[in-house]
Structure 1
């Protein structure tokens, strides 16, 4: 099932812009070397190990390049894959297959890398109450696909952008003059503009956590760059009054200890900003 931000209109616009960037006024390599009447097959070959993502997107890309192409899917988004697996076979006009090839691979390789890393981190926090969140640290104009990949890998999407939730981060707090001032100004803004948005406040110390608790009127407290001991103390201090989120440089080596502190969510920017793509190829079938 697609998330709400993956609409037919959004998909079509993304693919149209991506093809315009890549194809321009024509795929002249294919137009020059391949007869227009040539019909061929190609298989999407997996060359890495992990979680597959981007199959549904690939089908839409292929359809938009040439709706007469036929795609036979063997492996769906979210399944575990290994080298040698074939995700799908595309059949039809050879020129069209070649035109779609690179965009399909660019999307699927990155999305599968994200889904794989998300799954790996989820495995490390299994058995705790913590859930894994993504961030806005995404590739410009590719956020929708990267967040979709996080979901496919078993993670949870945080806010999509600046418009659907308020997060008062350290700079907001510093510019506003403090925790209380930032929260109060935000509450007044929401009332004045008749908006209903959840409010999260980033805290950098137990003292700031206490200031948020004294001010109230928010929904979630972010605990940024705190040690496991500090996180545990913060969770006890908050005592279920607000949702808690641990953030800040959390890695495969540290995430289990963070989850054990009792936080509700753990946000990891590395899910999308520094992931390693999966090796995937589209190979001609002769």
Structure 2
């Protein structure tokens, strides 16, 4: 799956990666490799998976040596098998050796996330549920990791705390401890007055008894956190009944989302329950890097 990519978002992280790995130069290659030596190398998949990060790989190479020639054999989102030649790089040997680890670090990490996401997405194929990421990302890598999620067939949740309101149990507890009126209806009304049109408001419920209050509050999304699929199915029926009674007046549907302890083994159960969205932290925080090697011919 092709996904939009903004190179402005990765300038700092790429320069940091180059600085921490190459520093003042690859002293081993500088000592043993002639300055004018040229080589060609290939990025080879060592296992099956979904490739993500080719635009990043090309960008990294150009930052190290603008004369390097990078040729992709596939596009981001392509499924590869063991032994697939993903891309080739040609240029000064010292530049190739210097760039190798930085390129692989980006490509393997992002491909791992895309592969993990795709496994979840395939499990819910045929259901309306979308696989979504969370804010459980590597510090500094959020744009890149959320890009990889899209490449793998997932959908991005909020980018940060600034673009989507999510009222969680801790917010309600703190409001209560501060002797504020923590009623969800009041909180949502307060939020609506202070946010721009189009900003989504989501509220977490941990028990079915909270569903009607949250729906009455006028939220856009109800988040079922750590609730088993059978109970979520009942909750969704409650939401549908609420919409049936209120729909003519409000004119909008409430989206539903499941989160908390979602695994590859149980994700389909949540999709069967009828949720619109399933947020999975594991696709970013626990994704294993895809095994890719760089081999000079």
TM-score range (shorter-chain normalised) is over 0.9
Q: Does 1:59 find its partner at 2:54?
A: no
Three-state SS of the structure 1 residue aligned to 2:149 is: helix
Q: Which one of the candidate residues 208, 211, 216 is aligned to 1:209?
A: 211
Shift of 1:179: 9.4
CA distance in 2: counterparts of 1:26 and 1:10, whole angstroms: 25
1:240-263 deviation digits (Å, cap 9, x = unpaired): 541000101111110111100110
Offset, 1:74: 0.6
Aligned residues: 282
What is the match of residue 23 of structure 2?
24
Aligned twin of 1:248: 260
CA contact (8 A) 1:46 1:84 kept: yes
For residues 34 and 74 of structure 2, what CA distance do their matches in structure 1 show? 31
Secondary structure of 1:164 counterpart: coil
Task: Give the unaligned 5+ runs of structure 2.
Answer: 244-252
CA–CA separation in structure 1 for the residues paired with 2:233 and 2:86? 44
Larger displacement relative to structure 2 (242-251 or 14-23): 14-23
The normalised TM-score by structure 2 is 0.89
Q: Distance in 2 between matches of 1:172 and 1:226?
A: 19
Cα deviations by residue, 1:155-175 (Å, 9 ceiling, x for unpaired): 001011111111112211221
TM-score, length-scaled by structure 1: 0.93
CA distance in 1, matches of 2:164, 2:195: 14
Q: Counterparts of 1:190 and 1:18 in 2: how far apart (Å)? A: 41
The whole-number CA distance in structure 2 between the counterparts of 1:115 and 1:42 is 24
Stretch moving more, 10-19 or 225-234: 10-19
The superposition leaves residues 29-61 of structure 1 with CA deviations (integer Å, 9 ceiling, x where unpaired) of 222221211111110011011111111111111
* TM-superposed deviation, 1:196: 5.3
**Over aligned residue pairs, what C-alpha RMSD do you find?**
1.8
Distance 2:258 2:173 in 1: 20
| Separation in 1, partners of 2:236, 2:53 | 37
1:261 and 2:261 aligned: no
Aligned to 1:105: 104
Question: Cα deviation per residue 1:235-282 (whole Å; 9 max; x = unaligned)?
Answer: 111115410001011111101111001100111100001111111011
* Distance of 1:36 and 1:137 partners within structure 2: 43
SS of the residue 1:260 aligns to = helix
Distance 2:118 2:259 in 1: 18
1:138 matched to which residue of 2?
A: 137
- 1:75-224 to structure 2, matched below 5 A, reads 75-177=74-176, 181=183, 184-185=186-187, 187-189=189-191, 191-192=193-194, 197-214=199-216, 216-224=217-225
Aligned to 1:277: 289
Stretches of structure 1 that go unaligned for 5 or more consecutive residues are none
SS at match of 2:183: helix
Deviation at 1:194, TM superposition (A): 5.6
Return the offset for 1:190.
5.1
Aligned to 2:229: 228
1:145 Cα deviation from its structure 2 partner? 1.2
Equivalent residue of 1:246, what SS?
A: strand
Alpha-carbon distance in 1 for matches of 2:54, 2:88 = 11
